[in-house]
Amino acid sequence: MNENPLDRLKALLGEVYDLNATLSLLGWDQLTYMPGGGAEERGSAMATISRIMHLKLTSDELLKCLEECEKQTTGLPDDSDDYCLVKVTRREVTRRTRIPSKWVTEFAEATAIGQDKWERAKSTSDFPCFQPYLEKIIELRREYASFFQPYDHIYDPLLDEFEPGLKTRDVQKIFEVLREDQVSLIRELSEKPQVDSSFLYQYFPENAQWEFGSGVVSSMGFDWNRGREDSSAHPFTTTIGMDDVRITTRVLPENLSSALFSTIHEGGHALYELGFSRKLKRTPLATGASMAVHESQSRLWENLVGRSRSFWVHYYPKLQLLFPAQLANVPLDIFYKGINRVEPSLIRTESDEATYNLHIMLRLELEIALMERKIEVRDLPGLWKERMNEFLGVIPKDDVHGVLQDIHWAGGMVGYFPTYALGNVISAQLWECIQKNIPDLDDHISQGRFEPLLDWLRVNIHTHGAKFETQELVKRVTGTPIDPQPYLRYLRTKFTEIYS
């Protein structure tokens, strides 16, 4: 009996999924436990697996099977699992067939070594040490874009890798609206008396910080039987499989906010990855719709939940018990205002909600200029300082607090940064919808009950995995495509109240 084409396609894609899981495990180990000397060999191993995965996705066998499946799924509802699987596979195969396997191997090696060199350069604030490796990565990304000519903009292919369906002009249009309103809000807040946050910057034992953060993500719904938490130089989430999702954080002993909010942030990513429908297992649909949707989940938990007053009505007494010497004499209202202090800062991951998107806009401008060859890698440290002064009025004293602060370029993720700001926008758009559907949401949060919120996210966002592109998913849930206005309303309402 002939095998059903859809079953055969799923078997072939399952092999690719398994290879990607292996690649993810090697990448996670590299950033957590791998000894420093292993970077070169690890790069070779990851390059080999990347090449095999690429060859499987572009094989004649898979292409022929996919054509048969396209005929078989014609007429199915456009939201059915099988229809979406074939659609998403076709999109990925079409993208992959334009990329030479030699490039895939070279890129995997360059980024594996680049991430190791970045970590070493960051530890000593030595950008020149990292520069030649980043130059190679940037040149490879320029070459990647060339595979997709003709395009409207050279940045489009890079953005599409993380945000399928969106164009550079779409992002720039949204950012123009955000920038004007956020700069205006920041200017208004700067004229108000500043709130106190000094109590956040004293010694908080690292073990106690870790314990508190782990307790929070447990309450959020993180399943420790299907995940774990480790330490890394830059917090991240890695999915090895549907039942193996790992988060990392970085604890700063004299900054209470850093580990706490990065842990909640990564917990939000992990909850998304743990929420896909079991029917999507070992297929290309068992992943997030896009990085913007992924960031909407992490930023929703980090900011709309974790920085809300309701959240701290429940958690602040627990935090005070854990750190009595530091917080016993700090009232809840002062603490809430302190963790939401608006002040231009150097580090993206530790910036406040009102200024965060400006950090992203700076990176987007530099990435586009790099791709257009208007600037070169050697120009980045100086340009970073100039743009930080222009965008936020602060200037980093060294490259650790400047151009070396993020791991993304070392990992070749040029095109990723805009998704953070888009995630902020989508999170507020979803939040308005959630509040209508769960009118007593604040009461649940103030009691430490996150089940109603997580259930809503599971049903409306998580279960679908990658079945729908971002704009389609957002419109299905909220009724409109990505709209910056809910986010701007959220910022203005929240910070007008905090700054009276």
pLDDT tens-place string over residues 142-185: 999 999 999 999 999 999 999 999 999 999 999 999 999 999 99
User: What's the per-residue H, E or C state across 56-81?
Assistant: HHCCHHHHHHHHHHHHHHCCCCCCCH
Angle at 316 between CA 311 and CA 320, to 5 degrees: 165
Tokens at residue 354, please? 């009102």
- Exposure of 500 by Cβ count < 10 A (0-12 exposed, 13-18 middle, 19+ buried)? exposed
pLDDT tens-place string over residues 390-436: 999 999 999 999 999 999 999 999 999 999 999 999 999 999 999 99
pLDDT tens-place string over residues 486-497: 999 999 999 999
**What is the pTM (predicted TM-score) of this model?**
0.94
- DSSP one-letter string for 231-272: E-SS--EEEEETTEEEEEE---TT-HHHHHHHHHHHHHHHHH
Closest CA to 161 of 292, 304, 49, 12: 292
> What is the per-residue pLDDT for 218?
98
> What is the per-residue pLDDT for 350?
85
Backbone angles phi, psi at 228, to 5 degrees: -150, 170
> What is the per-residue pLDDT for 115?
92
Any idea of the CA torsion for 35, 39, 45, 50, to the nearest 10 degrees? 120
Kindly report the number of other CB atoms within 10 A of residue 136's CB atom.
19
Average pLDDT estimate for 44-58:
95
Compute the distance between CA of residue 23 and CA of residue 27 in angstroms, rounded to an integer. 6
Query: Between β-strands 244-249 and 227-231, what pairing exists: parallel, antiparallel or unpaired?
Result: parallel
Q: Which residues contact 145 (CB under 8 A, 6 or more apart)?
A: 151, 154, 155, 156, 157, 158, 371
Tokens at residue 79, please? 């939201």
The domain defined by 168-498 folds into: Neurolysin; domain 3 (1.10.1370)
pLDDT band at 28 (very low <50, low <70, confident <90, very high): very high
pLDDT tens-place string over residues 119-129: 999 999 999 99
Average pLDDT estimate for 373-397:
96
1 has a pLDDT exceeding 70 = no
Note whether 229 and 214 are within 8 A (CB): yes
Q: Dihedral sign for Cα 128, 119, 386, 417, please.
A: positive
Average pLDDT estimate for 245-265:
96
Average pLDDT estimate for 360-369:
97
In Å, what is the CA distance from 97 to each residue of 6, 11, 54, 59, 427?
21, 20, 9, 9, 34
Catalytic residue (one of 109, 161, 229, 266): 266
Reduced to 3 states (helix: H, G, I; strand: E, B; else coil), residue 227 is strand
Closest CA to 29 of 16, 18, 42, 15: 42
Note whether 137 and 128 are within 8 A (CB): no
Compute the distance between CA of residue 59 and CA of residue 25 in angstroms, rounded to an integer. 25
- DSSP one-letter string for 383-405: HHHHHHHHHHS---SSSTTTTTS
304 has a pLDDT exceeding 60 = yes
> What is the per-residue pLDDT for 314?
98
Note whether 88 and 467 are within 8 A (CB): yes
Residue 266 is a catalytic residue: yes
Residue type for position 392: L
Domain-wise residue ranges, the chain: 5-150, 168-498
Q: pLDDT exceeding 90 applies to what percent of the chain? A: 97
